[in-house]
Amino acid sequence: MNFPPPSTTQRTFSATIMAAAIALSLTACAVGPDYVRPSMDLPASYKESGPWKQAQPQPIDGSNWWEVYGDATLNGLIQEANQANQNIRQAEAQYRQARAAADAARAGFWPTLGVNAGVDRARSNSNSNGLKLGNNYNAGLQGGWEPDIWGNVRRSVEAGDADTQASAADLAAARLSIQATLAQDYLQLRITDLLQDLYARTTAAYARSLQLTQSQYAAGVTLRSDVALAESQLKTAEAQAIDLQAQRSQLEHAIAILTGNAPSGFALTALPADTQMLSKMQAGLPPIPAGLPSELLERRPDIASAERRAAAANANIGVAKAAFFPALTLSASGGFNSASLAQWFSTPSRVWSLGAALAETIFDGGLRRAHSDQAIAVYDAAVAQYKQTVLGGFQEVEDNLATLSVLDREAVAQKQAVQASQLAERLALSQYRAGTATYLAVVTAQTLALSNERTLVQLLGRQLLASVALIKAVGGGWDTSQLASAERSSQAQNKTHDNATN
C-alpha cells in the first residue's frame, strides 16, 4: 500500500508519542515487590541419622533410582509406568497447560495487528441528489500496542514462568510418587511370595508331623488327641497360606493399574521356591544417603513446586498494583474506502489514522484495592504452604530414618529368635519321637518357629518399604536444576512447533 506522506506536524506528534512510550517501557520499573525466597531456620543435621547407614553410601541416580534394588522386573514395570500411568499423563498435560498460559502472558509484550475487508450496499437520501443506491468497498490494516510502562506484562510473565516451573515440579513429584508406590507394591508382592514359600515349606513339615502322629497312634503309643492337634495345626497353616493369595492378588491388581493395564490382562509370575531368596533380598537392601536438611529444599519436587508458587503469587501482587496506574494505548490504521473498486487505489480512497489514548480509572468502589489485598493474601498463604511443605519433608525423612534404624536393630534380634525357635522345634520333635515329650510341646515349638520366621520376613518387607519411602522423602535424586532443563526443553519444543507451522 502507498499512503501519502503525513505532514510535518503529524510526523512530529507520532514520533514524540512513540519515543516517549518506548522510553517509558524500557526504563520504568515494574511495580510490586521483587521476589525473595521465604527464609526458614534449618537444622544443621537430621536428628535420626543412625548407625544403620554405610559410611560411604552410593549416591542415588535421579533418573533410575529404583535400580538400586537390582530387580530387572521392577525396572521394566517402572519404565512402563513412566509411559502409561494416567496420573503422570494428567500431570504432564497440566504442565503443558501452564506453559501455554505463560506463553499467552508473554504475548502481551507485542502489538496486535489485524486486517479487515468488506463491501456493503446502501441507499442514501440527500436534498441535492435525492435517493441514491450504491456500493461501498473497504479494506484496511490496523494495529494497537499498550506499552508495558508499569510492568503489568513483565509481572504476568514472571508469574507465568514461575507457575510453569511449579507445574514441572508437580510433574516430577507425580512421577516420583507413582514410581515409589509401584516399587513398594512390587516389593511387598515379592515379600508375599517369600511368605507363600515359607508356608509351603511349613505345611509340608506339618503334613509329615501329622503322618508321624498317625503312625504313633496306630502303634498305640500316643493319644487320638495328638492326631487331632497335628491335623488342626496343618489346616490352620493351609488357611493362612490361602489368605496370602488374596493379599498377593490385590497387590498385583494395584501394580496393573499403576502401569496403565487392566488387572484382568496382567500377571506377575511368583518367585520360585528358594530358601536363599530371603538372604538375597536382605543383601539387596540399599543404603540411602539422606544428605543435609538444607539440601532437601533443592531435592524435593513438592518443595520446589511450593516455592515456585510463592514466587508466582509475589509477581501477581505487581500485576494487581499496576492497575492503579494509567494505561497508554497506541493505535494506527490504514487502508482503502471507495464506492468503486476501480477507484480503490486513487488518492481520495486512501485512509489512515494514528492515535494515542491515556486512560485511568478514577473511582471503582475499592475494586483495585480489593484485588491488591487479595493478591497479598494469596502470597502469604503460598509462603505458609511452602514452609509447611518444608517441615513435612523434614518429618518424612526423620520418620524413615528412625524406622530404618529401629528395624535394623529389630531384625538382628529377630534373626536370633528364629534360630532359637528352630532349635527348639527340632529338639521338641526329637523328644516326641523318643517318647519323652508330649505332642503339645511339638505344636508349641512349631507355632513359635513359624511365627518368628513370618515376623522376620515381614520385617524385611517393612525395611524395603521404608527404604523406598526414604528415597522418595529425599527427592529420589531429583534437584531443582531440572526445572531450568524443563524450561529449555519447552522453549525448544515451541521453536520446533513454530518452524513446523511456518
DSSP 117-140: EEEEEEEEEETTTEEEEEEEEEEE
Q: What are phi and psi of 188, to 5 degrees?
A: -65, -35
Q: Is 49 exposed, middle or buried (0-12, 13-18, 19+ CB in 10 A)?
A: middle
- What pLDDT is stored for residue 28 in this prediction? 54
Strands 350-359 and 327-338: antiparallel
Q: Is 59 helix (H, G, I), strand (E, B) or coil?
A: coil
Does residue 24 contact residue 147 with C-beta atoms inside 8 Å?
Answer: yes
Residue with cell 504432564: 92
- What pLDDT is stored for residue 122 in this prediction? 74
pTM (predicted TM-score): 0.83
Name the CATH superfamily for 30-110+148-325+367-501: Outer membrane efflux proteins (OEP) (1.20.1600.10)
Q: Do domains 30-110+148-325+367-501 and 112-147+329-359 have the same CATH topology?
A: no
Polymer length in residues for the chain: 502
DSSP 330: E
Q: Is the C-alpha dihedral spanning 258, 259, 260, 262 positive or negative?
A: negative
**Domain segments of the chain as ranges:** 30-110+148-325+367-501, 112-147+329-359
19/460 Cα distance (integer angstroms): 74
Q: Which amino acid type is present at position 475? A: G
- What pLDDT is stored for residue 262 in this prediction? 93
- What pLDDT is stored for residue 273 in this prediction? 62
Q: Is 91 helix (H, G, I), strand (E, B) or coil?
A: helix
DSSP 60: P
470/50 Cα distance (integer angstroms): 14
Q: What are phi and psi of 357, to 5 degrees?
A: -135, 135
Nearest Cα residue to 302 out of 140, 173, 153, 144: 173
What strands, in cross-sheet order, belong to the sheet with 327-338? 112-126, 130-145, 327-338, 350-359
95/101 Cα distance (integer angstroms): 10
Residue 426's alpha-carbon distances to 132, 258, 326, 450, 481, in angstroms, are 120, 45, 92, 13, 59
DSSP 239-294: HHHHHHHHHHHHHHHHHHHHTT--GGG---PPPPP-TTHHHHHHHT--------HH
How many C-beta atoms lie closer than 10 Å to residue 143's C-beta?
A: 13
How many C-beta atoms lie closer than 10 Å to residue 216's C-beta?
A: 19
Q: Which amino acid type is present at position 251? A: L
Buried b (16+ CB within 10 A) or exposed e, 74-84: beebbebbeee
Class of domain 112-147+329-359: mainly beta
- What pLDDT is stored for residue 343 in this prediction? 67
- What pLDDT tens digit does each residue of the chain (502 aa) get? 344 444 444 454 455 455 455 545 444 568 889 999 999 888 888 887 554 343 333 445 456 899 888 889 999 999 999 999 999 999 999 999 999 999 999 998 999 999 888 888 777 666 666 677 777 778 888 888 888 888 899 999 999 999 999 999 999 999 999 999 999 999 999 999 999 999 999 999 999 999 999 998 898 888 899 999 999 999 999 999 999 999 999 999 999 999 999 999 999 998 776 656 666 676 667 777 777 888 888 889 999 999 999 999 999 999 999 989 998 888 888 877 776 666 666 666 677 888 888 888 898 899 999 999 999 999 999 999 999 999 999 999 999 999 998 999 999 999 999 999 999 999 999 998 888 888 999 999 999 999 999 999 999 999 999 999 999 999 988 888 878 765 555 454 444 434 443 4
Pure H helices in 113-223:
152-218
141/352 Cα distance (integer angstroms): 9
